[in-house]
Structures are given as C-alpha cells and as structure tokens.
Structure 1
C-alpha cells in the first residue's frame, strides 16, 4: 500500500482516510436514502434490484453483505431465504439498518461491525460476498478484495455494485455537471451537509475505471470475472468466482 490514498480529490494518509470516511458516513447515515437518491436521481433502487438478481441468493446459503449497514441490499437478499450477515465498519450505519429492519418486521439478519480489510470471519465460510456502493470508500481496496476471496468457499461468488466511468459521449458531461454542481447543493439544502456529498461525488471520480478494477479483482484471486455496465458505465456490476 502506498504512503497516501485518495479522499475525494485530496491525497491523505491511509489512517486519515479511514477516519474521514467514518465521519462522512456517520453524518449521512440517517439520510442514506436521500444521499443515494441525490447521487443517482432515484435510480439506485432499480440498480440494487438488478444487482441482487445477478447474485441469485438461495435458501440455505451464507451471504456476507459488506458495507451494507443500512440494510438496502440485505433486505433484498433475505427474501431468498439465505442467511445474511450485514457487515459495516460504521456503527451509525448499522444502527440505522437495525432500526429499519425492526420497522419492517425483518428478522434473522446478523449485524456485525467489521472492517472490510481485516475480517474476523473464518476462511471459506460464505457462499457469496456482496458490496454495493462501498468499495470505493475502503482505504486499502486490494486488501479488502483479498479478504473477500479468503472468506468465500470454493465456488463462492463475489459481486460488487459501484459507480464507475461513464463511456457515453454527452451523457458523461451532463452527469458530471449534475453531480459536481447540484448534488452538494442538494446535500446542503436537504441534509445541511454539502461537504459529505461533495466527497462522495469526488470519490467516484477517483475510483478506477471498469477494466482496471476488474484487473484488481483478478489479482485478488478471482476467476471468470465479468463487468456489466449500466447506463454506459455510470454504474457497473462486477463479479468473480473463487475456485
């Protein structure tokens, strides 16, 4: 790992990024849906539905939903009858998720405070590992990918939903203008927090493009990797298998 990592458009020490990202998500935890609506124009709900369809969870499976504190992905996964562990480094996000689960009458989820880079789960424990809109906020992404590989059983599958680099001419310019100029203002207006929303947009711009990130997944040991761009790569579903 290098001496510095990105935090938005800044390069900071790794421990500083971990601390700052924690502050961002503590700030936005209670407004998680609002945050995602602002960043995606409300389309994140459809993307998450599509993502879970690709994962194809099955009854009896053990699934780890990493960075899934507020439960958005876990609630969808749980409909299959799979056993879901919801893990997040941020206790404020987990608190929101547990409250939402209680209000919806969703029982049986396991809630776990965990760092994606240093998981405490045993080797070869899970059948599937999911992470949605969380990997770009991890301080050491290659280390987190290696941990994902470690905790998966042979034949286990890795799925990641993340913002990416849009490849449609014209649309990319429109979204850049929307995200950089309007999203922080929306964050300030509705949540009183422009800086957190600004960081989240900047973090998208610093995240590796689709081929580069696919290469990182392969480097972690996964095979049969695949990238499914959505809206020209505005977001992408990345997947790989452990053999």
Structure 2
C-alpha cells in the first residue's frame, strides 16, 4: 500500500525523447477531468479554474487533508534533489508559491510547452501537479528537453492503494471527508471532488515509472513514502 510516492529519473546523454510512444489516445478530442470526459482544449481552463478557486485556502487544506505530512514529503523531495550552489532549477506547478526569496523567478506557463531552452536546467521537480496536465507524456518530454545531460527529474505524486481493507477506508476518506472539508474550509466541494478523482485516474506507480523511462530518462525508480 502506498499513498505518496517520489519518482526519480536522470537525463540521458545523446537521447532525443519522443513526445509520445504508443499513445494514440492523444489524437482523440476527449480527455479526463476527474471521472468526467471533456474536450482536450477545455481541460487546462477547467484545471485553472479549480486552483484559482482553492488558492486562498490551498495550504490550509493540504495541512488538514494530510495532517501536515505534505510538508515533510516536500522536504524529502528537496533533500533528494540535493541542491548545490549555482544550480539552475525548475519547479513546475508551484502551488501558492510560499516564500519571498528574491533569487526565485516566477513564470506562468504550460508544462507541456515550457518557455525554457533545451539543456538549460540542472534539476526539475513537480509535486502533486503532473496528474493535472492534459498530456502527461508531453509534460515528461518537456522535462527531459529542458534538463541538461545528467540533470535530475523528481516528481512527488499521490499513489494507488492496493490493500483491500485500507483501500475501502481510503476511498471513504477521499470521497466523503475531503470534499466535505473542501466545502467547509474553502467553500468549494466540487474542486476537491475533482482533485480526489484525478488521483484515481492517475497511472499506477509501475506504469508512471515506465512513462518516465519512455520519455528518455534513465535510472528511473520510485519510492513509496507511506507504506503499510
């Protein structure tokens, strides 16, 4: 059983990553928005609406939903990144962006079409964000493109639960408690209903690790942070 996982990958040398391998579904005009099917061109706007709606209470809700553990998971992600002086790093889907560090440059953009040059970053991180993009394969390909040779890709994401007994409890908490908390704290039940559904639609740990490798990364591995 796992609730959260860190995925790691290393940018290969002399490798041109494809935008997609065997992913004909990208040519369709529909994609998932939680359990709903929507037109591809609509999803980014719908996701943007979700996070605009919950932004003011986002960090409070994260603390409530995880019992504050999300802060420890993010600290673990940074420790795995092992920053060094002069490192050029890209953090995608930065949430509310807590912190007033003047060395940070904020850019609004599209994870599937990053506004950065090839081979320009030493590291790339994304926490609880990649499941919200329309085409995960394109986001991974862009991560590979902007990383320097040997650059590191790190992703923190919510995972699947396999234990049947715990899964039943986890499903009840996810679909009953979290949307109710969203309504009480953020005044927005529907957005948190989507966030729960998006977790269920995300690939399993093994499948997502395979997708990272297909994007051109080597030494791909994942670590479950909460295990039974």
Q: TM-score, normalised by structure 1?
A: 0.80
**Greater mean deviation of Cα atoms: 199-208 or 172-181:** 172-181
Partner residue in 2 for 1:83: none
Deviation at 1:146, TM superposition (A): 0.2
Partner residue in 2 for 1:140: 135
- The separation in 1 between residues aligned to 2:145 and 2:220, in whole angstroms, is 16
Tell me, yes or no, if structure 1 residue 70 matches structure 2 residue 96. yes
Which of 114, 125, 132 aligns to 1:130? It is 125
Which of 143, 155, 161 aligns to 1:160? It is 155
Contact 2:61 2:185 in 1 (8 A): no
Deviation at 1:171, TM superposition (A): 2.2
Tell me, yes or no, if structure 1 residue 19 matches structure 2 residue 45. yes
Deviation at 1:169, TM superposition (A): 4.1
Deviation at 1:16, TM superposition (A): 1.3
Count, aligned residues? 202
Structure whose residues are more often helix by fraction: 1
Which of 110, 115, 121 aligns to 2:110? It is 115
The alignment partner of 1:231 has SS state of: coil
For residues 116-156 of structure 1, the C-alpha deviation after alignment (integer angstroms, 9 at most, x for no partner) is: 00111000000000000000001111001000000000000
Tell me, yes or no, if structure 1 residue 209 matches structure 2 residue 204. yes
Structure 1 residues not aligned, in runs of 5+ = 72-99, 234-243
- The separation in 1 between residues aligned to 2:76 and 2:195, in whole angstroms, is 22
Calculate the aligned-residue CA RMSD, in Å: 1.4
Partner residue in 2 for 1:54: 80
Deviation at 1:7, TM superposition (A): 0.4
Contact 1:168 1:232 in 2 (8 A): no
Structure 2 residues not aligned, in runs of 5+ = 1-25
Partner residue in 2 for 1:44: 70
- The separation in 2 between residues aligned to 1:6 and 1:51, in whole angstroms, is 27
Partner residue in 2 for 1:151: 146
- The separation in 2 between residues aligned to 1:214 and 1:118, in whole angstroms, is 21
Contact 1:133 1:161 in 2 (8 A): yes
Partner residue in 2 for 1:29: 55
For residues 149-184 of structure 1, the C-alpha deviation after alignment (integer angstroms, 9 at most, x for no partner) is: 000000001000000102334222211111110111
Q: TM-score, normalised by structure 2?
A: 0.85
Deviation at 1:190, TM superposition (A): 1.0
- The separation in 2 between residues aligned to 1:180 and 1:169, in whole angstroms, is 16
